[in-house]
Each structure stands twice: as structure tokens, then as C-alpha cells.
């Protein structure tokens, strides 16, 4: 059920079969009593919840239930073509045509199929295509009105939207030509309804999206819904996760007992029932009481992991086991000069939690507070849990020399090239009415190198690129306060799975001396030339928001599951340089000389 944190998450459309499509309901509709707890107190504190639960498992009696509502709600008969609006709470497995003439002709009931077009709003709202308003030029009628029965026909003359024609029994008729164009719904004066079917509600405040913001798309399009997730590496702590979980469940009661002077007795009872040492429970309780109440920034959260990875602090419980490798042990001038630390992580526990959803743009939630992001998942603004999955695997952590990066980033040619990407980012954010952000060239270089390494490692370690993931430890944007983490410049490439496939050792072996040199050399040499060059290397903007330069599917892009930000902010020119100006690349001079 890991897809509940992927393509079929809360608010997404799931095709059960050719005749039935549903939308996954909000967290309020889930039954947590039949779901397993996921332990990661650090992640809980970061996203502002008290509990994490794994998605319902398809095991045991009564389990495996994922709540959903029917969507879209306009359906039609593939035989007689009559359309019908079905309420979201209709729980029938299939809806049948109720046209007597159709039944008499076919001698049996025909299953209705859903209209495949929906209206999507960048604010997260979604609704069925306004069939009644469209065919009547903006005039609305009750879908159950017997004087306005809609018929849907496909002419078959071409593959355009104009081939699909709605006809009303009142005589009104209109094709779908122009419906999917930018601002196409302006023709009928349609405004966003503010509908949130997965929460069974309409937004309490009018939506401020303009008609130009709305999109008519096919319900199976990837931009209909993006799962907003946050991942976390489970790092060693003075208290294990089981103990922190017990304290979390009893925290309010323990606070009350402490106010009455009965904390010692309460901990004695809890120690007996949980079979956990009293001192460990007391330490976990004190740590919980002294936790900071302010929101933790993404950089601050990553910095905790960064310090653990660079110092290879293994945990007593075996959730994190790592060892350091001396960069000087590698027979590579690039590794010796540019890499200050290598950590081989034999056991890595990763938790991924669902914190929201977005539509049309996968980065729409960037920079928003966690409370606002989580508000899209449930009707209850105080819901204290969310979905999460925990996986175990292995990884390679690489820390880069800060002095080398600092001397590279101030080169005029580097700043000139990153300026092109910065301009494209500014334009994209301005169109979405977002505050400007200053891109960090170090992040772009490390992120691109991470992709090159993923593609190279997948050739030798036994894992496909789709089974590998990245985690970049570097400020993405340069802003006030980010200088506190200016020493953070590393990357983690890991693999993890619920089945345990991530602990087979192939990835760690690829990072050992005698092997990693070939992996790195292959990655950089492959990046020197792309099969789409010179078009690719001379690009001034491609990919999402045109925020990639020299990066395409022939050289740098990886499967979406492998990249932490959707294949964005990539440029191999900043890693290996260009033919005209090799010094633009972090390793450009060394590679061109070689």
C-alpha cells in the first residue's frame, strides 16, 4: 500500500476498472485501529503530528480497507450515450444505464463509464467537468431535470476535442472544442467551485483562482494530483524509538501525574507494563518536555542527519550502522581533492510521511508551513496523525570539501551560467505569485552529480536507477539564516524497501575503494557528451519551469522516484564544464586536461 504515498494518494483518482473510478478519501475516513504504528519521533516533531501510521495492509480479517468516494460524477452509457450524474456517496460497485429504451434493445443492463475530463484548480480544488453549463453556454440546470437529458457522442472524424459532442434534450448542442485550451472555461463564465470531494466538502471561502488558472485535463493525467511527502533518515538517539513511542502515547497522563507528585509511581507502573527500564522512560519523558515548540526549518532538519552521516554514528538498536572510508584510500585525484569524507551505510532506516497534496504543480507547497500543507488531508484541522511508511536499506554518503566548493562558486563564469537558471526560476515564481528565491549554485552542482552517480551506480551494483534515491545535504536557496548551515555540502545515495531488498550490500560495495573510482569516472566521462548535444549543452532552459540547463533524459534525468525534487535544478555544465568554458564545471578543468 505504499502507493498511498505515491500516485494514488489522498485526493487522487484511482481507476478500479473501465467502469469505475474513485477518489481516495481524506485521513478522517481511515480507521487507525486497524493500522500499524510507525516509530519516528523526530519526523513527527518536524511535521507537527503525534503519531504516524502505516497504510492499511491487505492482511487479516477486516484489514486492507482504503476509504474512497466516487469521482468523477458524470457518467455515460457506451451504448445509448445518455449521461447521468451520480452522487459521490453512491457506494455501488457499478452504475447501470436506467434508459428503458437502452435496456429493451440490449436485453440487459449496461454499465456506465465515467466522463474522462475533470476541472483542476491550482489551489487544490477539483470538480467534474461542468457538462450542463458547457452545453447550455453557462446556464446551469439540475442534472436530474427530465427536460435536460444530456447525450454524449463521439463523431470519429478526427482525434480532436471537437469530435466529442454533448446534446441536450432541450435542443442545445456543443462540442468540447476549446475546452482544454488556456482559459477555455471563460466561454461559459465558469468559476472554480472550491470543491474538495475527497473531504466531502466545498471550501468555506470563495476560491481566488482566475478562470485562466483552471485546467480541463484528462482524469488520468499525472498533474491531477501530486503527493506531498517528507522523508527522514532515522538517526541514532539516546532513547530508542519504542521507548519514545510509549512515552508519546502516555505523555498527557504523565504530565498530569507529575503535577500531582505521582510521576515516580506512574513510571514504575509503565515500566512494568511496557517492560522498558524506568530510567529509559524517565529520560524519554524529560526529552519530550524539553523539545522546542518552534517549527524546524528544512535545513535544520537535514543538518541533524548530515552530522550523523559524516560522523558515522551507529545506533545500538541497529537502525543505523555505518563506517567511514578514508578519501585518500581511493586512487583518484578528484576524490582526493574534492571529497573530504566518505561514509558507507550498511543499514539505513528511512521514513516517508504524507503531509499534503498539490495539483497542476508538484512544487506548489514549497515554503508553506506544515500546518497549511497538512490541512488538505483532512476536515479536522487538529488531526494528530498522518500516513507513513518505513523502509530499510543501505547507502553511500559523500561530503565535499567546502573550500573547493567556495573557490569554484565565485568564478564569474559560474555565476553567469547560474544566472540563466535563476532568471527562469524568477519568471516561473512570478507567474505563480510566489516570493523570489535565490538559487544556490552548490546545490545545483551536487544535485546534478547525484543524478550522474545514480545512473553510473545502477550499472554496477545490481539495483536499477528507479530503486535508488537521493538526499542532498545543501541549502537549496540562499536566504537569511541559511549561512548557519553553510558547512553542509554532501549527498546520500541510498536504496530502501519494505521487503528488505535494500540491505543486500551491492550499493555499499560500489562505494568502497577500488570500486567507487570507476563509478565516479564513468559518471563524469558520460556527462562530457550527451547524445542530444549540442542542443542539450547549449540549452537555456528545459524541464519543469525551464529550471534545467544541460540536462535531459539522455544524460542527467532519472526516474521520478529517484529524485527528491522532480528532476529540477540540474545542469551538467556546472559539473563537467562546457567545450568553450571548461572551468564552469566543478571538475571541468581536471576532466578536460585528462
pLDDT in tens, 509-540: 999 999 999 999 999 999 999 999 999 999 99
Per-residue model confidence (pLDDT) at position 65: 82
Per-residue model confidence (pLDDT) at position 517: 95
Per-residue model confidence (pLDDT) at position 84: 94
End-to-end alpha carbon distance in the chain: 49
Q: How confident is the model at residue 591 (pLDDT cuts 50, 70, 90)?
A: confident
Per-residue model confidence (pLDDT) at position 454: 96
Q: How confident is the model at residue 240 (pLDDT cuts 50, 70, 90)?
A: low
Q: Rounded distance, CA 451 to CA 570, Å?
A: 9
Residue keyed to cell 493500522: 35
Per-residue model confidence (pLDDT) at position 486: 79
**Statement: residue 503 has pLDDT above 50:** yes
Mean pLDDT value across the chain = 88
**Statement: residue 344 has pLDDT above 90:** yes
Q: How confident is the model at residue 62 (pLDDT cuts 50, 70, 90)?
A: very low
pLDDT in tens, 535-557: 999 999 999 899 999 999 999 99
Task: Give percent above pLDDT 90 in the chain.
Answer: 56
Task: Give percent above pLDDT 70 in the chain.
Answer: 92
Q: Rounded distance, CA 214 to CA 225, Å?
A: 14
Mean pLDDT is lowest, of 212-226, 237-251, 261-275, 336-350, for 237-251
Per-residue model confidence (pLDDT) at position 552: 95
**Statement: residue 501 has pLDDT above 60:** no
User: Is residue 517 within 8 Å of 457, Cβ to Cβ?
Assistant: no
Q: Rounded distance, CA 91 to CA 70, Å?
A: 7
Please provide residue 493's backbone torsions phi and psi, each rounded to the nearest 5 degrees.
Answer: -110, 125
Please provide residue 425's backbone torsions phi and psi, each rounded to the nearest 5 degrees.
Answer: -65, -40
**Statement: residue 293 has pLDDT above 60:** no
pLDDT in tens, 16-48: 887 889 999 999 999 998 899 998 888 998 999
Residue 138 or residue 294, greater confidence:
138
C-alpha triplet 230, 232, 238: angle, nearest 5°: 145
Mean pLDDT is lowest, of 51-60, 68-77, 552-561, for 51-60
- Mode of pairing for the β-strands spanning 51-53 and 385-400: parallel
Stated pTM of the model: 0.85
Average pLDDT, integer, range 558-566: 91
Average pLDDT, integer, range 239-267: 81
Per-residue model confidence (pLDDT) at position 352: 94
Residues with Cβ within 8 Å of residue 209, at least 6 apart in sequence: 121, 122, 123, 125, 192
- Is the C-alpha dihedral spanning 344, 471, 50, 308 positive or negative? positive
User: Is residue 13 within 8 Å of 127, Cβ to Cβ?
Assistant: no
pLDDT in tens, 452-478: 999 999 998 878 898 899 999 999 998
Q: Rounded distance, CA 21 to CA 219, Å?
A: 9
Residue 92 or residue 184, greater confidence:
184
**Statement: residue 92 has pLDDT above 90:** no
- For 104, other C-beta atoms within 10 Å of its C-beta total 8
> Helices (H) and strands (E) in the chain — how many of each?
16, 24
Residue keyed to cell 472550491: 194
- Burial (Cβ within 10 Å: 0-12, 13-18, ≥19) of residue 284: buried
Q: Which three cell numbers stand for residue 323?
A: 563506517
Average pLDDT, integer, range 389-408: 94
Average pLDDT, integer, range 75-97: 89
Average pLDDT, integer, range 405-430: 94
Per-residue model confidence (pLDDT) at position 234: 86
DSSP letter at 424 equals H
Q: How confident is the model at residue 317 (pLDDT cuts 50, 70, 90)?
A: low
Per-residue model confidence (pLDDT) at position 368: 87
Q: How confident is the model at residue 339 (pLDDT cuts 50, 70, 90)?
A: very high
Amino acid at each position: 500500500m505504499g502507493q498511498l504515498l505515491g500516485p494514488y494518494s489522498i485526493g487522487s483518482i484511482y481507476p478500479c476498472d473501465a467502469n469505475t473510478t474513485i477518489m481516495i478519501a481524506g485521513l478522517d475516513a481511515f480507521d487507525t485501529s486497524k493500522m500499524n504504528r510507525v516509530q519516528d519521533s523526530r519526523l513527527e516533531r518536524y511535521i507537527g503530528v503525534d503519531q504516524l501510521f502505516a497504510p492499511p495492509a491487505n492482511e487479516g480479517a477486516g484489514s486492507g480497507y482504503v476509504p474512497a468516494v466516487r469521482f468523477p460524477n458524470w457518467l455515460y452509457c457506451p451504448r445509448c450515450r445518455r449521461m447521468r450524474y451520480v452522487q459521490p456517496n453512491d457506494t455501488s460497485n457499478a452504475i447501470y444505464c436506467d434508459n428503458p429504451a437502452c435496456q429493451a434493445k440490449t436485453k440487459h443492463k449496461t454499465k456506465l463509464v465515467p466522463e474522462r475530463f475533470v476541472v483542476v484548480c491550482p489551489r487544490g480544488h477539483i470538480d467534474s467537468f461542468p457538462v450542463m453549463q458547457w452545453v447550455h453556454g453557462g446556464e446551469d440546470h439540475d442534472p436530474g431535470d427530465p427536460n435536460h437529458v444530456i447525450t454524449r457522442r463521439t463523431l470519429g472524424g478526427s482525434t480532436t476535442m471537437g469530435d466529442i459532442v454533448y446534446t441536450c434534450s432541450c435542443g442545445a448542442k456543443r462540442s468540447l472544442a476549446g475546452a482544454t485550451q488556456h482559459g477555455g472555461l471563460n466561454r461559459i463564465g465558469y468559476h472554480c467551485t472550491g470543491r474538495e470531494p475527497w473531504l466531502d466538502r466545498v471550501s468555506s471561502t470563495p476560491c481566488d483562482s482566475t478562470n485562466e488558472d483552471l485546467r480541463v485535463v484528462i482524469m488520468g493525467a499525472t498533474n491531477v494530483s501530486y503527493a506531498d511527502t517528507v522523508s527522514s533518515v532515522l538517526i541514532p538517539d539516546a532513547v530508542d524509538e519504542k521507548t519514545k513511542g510509549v512515552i508519546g502515547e502516555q505523555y498527557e497522563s504523565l504530565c498530569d501525574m507529575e503535577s500531582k507528585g505521582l510521576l515516580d509511581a506512574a513510571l514504575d507502573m509503565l515500566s512494568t507494563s511496557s517492560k522498558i527500564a524506568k530510567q529509559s522512560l524517565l529520560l524519554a519523558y524529560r526529552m519530550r518536555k524539553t523539545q522546542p515548540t518552534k517549527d524546524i526549518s528544512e535545513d535544520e532538519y537535514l543538518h541533524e542527519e548530515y552530522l550523523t552521516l559524516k560522523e558515522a554514528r551507529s545506533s545500538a538498536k541497529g537502525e543505523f550502522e555505518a563506517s567511514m572510508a578514508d578519501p585518500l584510500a581511493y586512487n583518484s585525484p578528484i576524490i582526493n581533492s574534492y571529497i573530504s569524507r566518505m561514509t558507507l551505510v550498511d543499514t539505513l532506516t528511512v521514513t516517508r510521511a504524507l503531509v499534503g497534496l498539490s495539483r497542476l504543480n508538484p512544487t506548489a507547497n514549497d515554503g508553506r508551513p506544515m500546518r497549511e500543507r497538512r490541512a488538505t488531508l483532512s476536515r479536522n484541522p487538529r488531526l494528530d496523525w498522518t500516513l507513513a511508511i518505513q523502509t530499510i536499506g543501505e547507502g553511500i554518503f559523500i561530503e565535499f570539501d567546502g573550500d573547493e566548493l567556495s573557490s569554484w562558486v565565485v568564478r564569474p563564469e559560474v555565476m553567469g551560467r547560474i544566472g540563466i537558471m535563476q532568471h527562469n526560476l524568477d519568471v516561473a515564481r512570478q507567474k505563480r505569485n510566489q516570493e523570489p528565491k535565490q538559487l544556490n549554485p552548490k546545490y545545483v552542482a551536487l544535485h546534478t552529480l547525484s543524478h550522474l552517480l545514480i545512473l553510473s551506480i545502477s550499472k554496477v551494483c545490481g539495483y536499477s536507477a528507479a530503486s535508488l534515491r537521493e538526499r542532498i545535504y545543501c541549502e537549496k536557496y540562499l536566504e537569511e539564516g541559511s549561512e548557519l548551515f553553510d558547512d553542509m555540502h554532501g549527498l546520500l545515495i541510498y536504496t530502501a524497501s519494505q521487503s528488505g531488498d535494500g540491505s543486500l550490500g551491492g550499493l555499499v560495495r560500489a562505494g568502497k575503494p577500488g570500486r567507487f573510482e570507476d563509478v565516479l569516472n564513468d559518471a563524469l566521462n558520460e556527462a562530457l557528451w550527451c547524445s542530444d548535444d549540442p542542443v542539450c549543452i547549449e540549452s537555456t532552459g528545459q524541464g519543469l519551469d525551464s529550471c534545467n540547463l544541460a540536462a535531459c533524459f539522455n544524460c542527467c534525468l532519472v526516474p521520478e522516484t529517484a529524485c527528491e525534487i522532480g528532476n529540477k535544478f540540474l545542469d551538467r555544465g556546472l559539473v563537467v564544464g562546457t567545450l568553450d568554458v571548461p572551468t564552469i564545471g566543478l571538475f571541468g578543468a581536471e576532466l578536460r586536461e585528462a
